[in-house]
Amino acid sequence: AALGSTPGAVVDISLQEALATLAMTELTRAGQTGRSWQRKRLTDGNGATVCILPASDGYAAISPREEKQWQAWLAAMGSPDWGREPRFARKADRIANWDALHALMSEWSRQHPKQWIADTAQTAHVPSFPLRELSEQFESPQLAEHGFWRQVAGRQAPGFPAQLSHAAAPPKPLPQQGPLPLFGLRVLDFSWVIAGPTATRHLAAMGAEVIKVEAPGPGDPGRGSELHTVLGQAKKAVVLDLKQPEAVAIAKRLATECDVLIENFATGVMDRLGLGAAELQALNPDLTYISASGMGRTGPEAKAVAYGTLLQCYAGFAGLNRHPERPPRVGFAWLDPMCGLLLPFLAAASLWRRAHQGGGTRVDLSMVEALLWTLAEPVLEAQTEGSAKPKGNRDPAMSPHGVYPCQGEDAWLALAVRGDTEWQALCRLVPGLANLTAQSLAERQAAAERIDAAIMAWSGTQTAEHALASLR
């Protein structure tokens, strides 16, 4: 609209559809197989790819998802005898015997501090981080080097989660308006797994021509799951063995003909291939070069081996996203798809800047900073109350507020009571609430356990559909 070619627009956002883009693998699995995962995910260790272990001073998260990483992790634990047992030989065996495996690893981990566990694992090239409280983030040398914190009313608040620099070049107008906003722009996609491919999928959906570069053989690991079904749509692809000079030359030629490059390899990989930002922007000053990595490309922790689910633990998100008095779980894989939404915004903003001021932009996104950027309220709370407390399904403004089991297998009801009128209507419907004296929000919150028990006693006798109809 600001370009003058469109008089205005109405944008109608569906929160349900926005959330569905984050649950892409779950929806694709259901669509392709007619089956979904159980909602009860208590002791499966997230498929033995990432888990949380108790430490002497908290918790540590590990992710030995590849076979070589599992063998390195066994060695880091001192090569215990049980590591050679057939029930833990393959990944499928470890999943099948997860409860026993987690108990054995926990016996070892309880003897050591969380940071020591993570450092020992990272030294063995096994992805691992301690579970941090938000209050621990303020002493981070990594965040300090990036100048992440900003002062707001005497407290530290999250700053912008990316380092930016700009190449010098004349302004380059955006293409004339096409059928979609990014029509006429070309993106070179060196990304893999979730965060980067999600970003380039959104750019493709907005009309950009996306050329995905994959290695020979199996290609992107996402092809081994439901991910590629969603994230591979509307993209072109080329296979390049970047260990060969000829392939690197092709990649460089493509970069001179593209507007945006996105990559999320480990720190140093693109530079070693001769495809770093400085080299490619020297060839194409109009190129916006976007990197996404766990900790950012600079700083004392830049080379840490990281996955999004581990960074959720490191940033403090997993500690908040838990039920009180229960051990933390990694939970929903939120950070990767969230960064997949942030990166296209940065790409579009960089193209807008290029059109007005000239030159491509170097964007160095830190995923852990991006997650902290979304936690502004608990970050401030951690400075006033000493720590941000996990609330489980509780809500500060609504009570009762939770998820309750219904009649049948894996059947549940989500319920939120927004005020006194709704509470009184619920009391008339649920027999066990009739004798409760709790009326105000504060009283209901204080009696939350008794209220939840009464609602569960009622919901357990109802189908989810009948309970929904009664509540409506």
The position carrying tokens 């076979």 is 67
With bands split at pLDDT 50, 70 and 90, how would you rate the model's confidence at 41? low
Query: Does position 277 have pLDDT exceeding 90, yes or no?
Result: yes
What confidence tier does 226 reach under pLDDT thresholds 50, 70, 90? confident
pLDDT average, residue stretch 365-379:
95
Please state the rounded mean pLDDT for residues 301-310: 91
pLDDT number for residue 305: 87
pLDDT per residue as tens digits for the range 390-430: 888 999 899 999 999 999 989 999 999 999 999 999 999 99
**pLDDT at residue 3 greater than cutoff 60:** no
Query: How would residue 372 be classed by pLDDT, with cut points 50, 70 and 90?
Result: very high
Residues in the chain: 472
Question: First CA to last CA across the chain, in angstroms?
Answer: 41
Q: Mean per-residue pLDDT for 231-239? A: 94
Per-residue pLDDT at 1 exceeds 60: no
User: Which pLDDT band holds residue 37 (cuts at 50, 70, 90)?
Assistant: confident
pLDDT at residue 60 greater than cutoff 90:
yes
Confidence of residue 44 (pLDDT cuts 50, 70, 90): low
Query: In the prediction, which pLDDT does 50 show?
Result: 85
Residue 212, CB-side half-sphere exposure with 13 Å CA sphere: 27
**Interatomic CA distance for residues 138 and 178, integer angstroms:** 46
The residue written with tokens 């194409």 in the block is 284
Percentage of the chain beyond pLDDT 70 is 97
Residue 325 pLDDT level (bands cut at 50, 70, 90): confident
Say if residue 294 is exposed, middle or buried (CB neighbours under 10 Å; 0-12, 13-18, 19+): buried
**Single-letter residue type at 183:** F
Q: What is the pLDDT of residue 45?
A: 56
Give φ, ψ of 298 to 5 degrees.
-130, 160
What's residue 391's pLDDT? Answer: 83
**How many Å apart are CA 465 and CA 458, to the nearest integer?**
14
pLDDT digits (tens, 9 = 90+) for 175-224: 877 888 899 999 999 999 889 999 999 999 999 999 999 999 988 888 88
Give the model's pLDDT for residue 43.
55
**What span, in angstroms and rounded, lies between the C-alpha atoms of 85 and 83?**
6
- Of 392, 375, 403, the closest CA to residue 321 belongs to 392
Nearest-CA neighbor of 114 among 134, 137, 138, 132?
A: 132
